Amino acid sequence: MPQVKIGVLISGSGTNLQSLIDNTENGYINGRITVVISNRKDAYGLERAKQHKIDAVYLSQKDYESFENFNNAIIDELKAHNVELVVLAGYLKILTAKFIDVYKNRIINIHPSLIPAFCGKGYYGIKVHEEAVNYGVKLSGATVHFVDEGADTGPIIIQEAVEVSYEDTAESLQQKILKIEHKILPLAVKYYCAGKIQIRGRKVKIEE
């Protein structure tokens, strides 16, 4: 099978991006990252892309008349790089309905909780882990899912849990869950690129 062309959207340091870069370069994923796009100029993920000779693009919403136009510019950039799969790796902006329609069932996101717990509008970054610790849950984890028009509501591809100890802080839980993220995001992308994912309604089947 030919390699799947992947576009990654980021807003921060890009540790999940790095896990994708590593796993495309070592052949674990039958894909190639053709562009990394960030809405933040100082996102270290852009530097990670440059270090691996991947096109790194910064696009600011302030440069466009509307949020719709901003999203259209991202779509144009992805199309210019022939992107077939979009991965959101710590991207902190919502996507327009047009964006989701153009790449229907071809946008994957990673979220640092076991969806539907601690997800949706306002739940991102360290706040997710603060809420989990404050609630006193015994398990948390990470979820890879397809993106639809809701916030963290798309069909779930993979989930993995981790125990939350009495001593855990939001920061220590975040580090535990990052290790899971760096494992299951490349795994989900690997399955996608191998054509092993089927979506039926809300359910995702992975063919072994």
Annotated catalytic residues are 111
Q: Which residues contact 128 (CB under 8 A, 6 or more apart)?
A: 111, 112, 113, 118, 119
126: CB partners within 8 A, 6+ apart? 170, 171, 174
Cross-strand partners of 163: 139
CA–CA gap between residue 12 and residue 45 (Å, rounded): 6
- Report how far residue 107's alpha carbon sits from residue 116's, in angstroms, rounded to the nearest whole number: 18
| Dist. CA 118–CA 131, nearest whole Å | 7
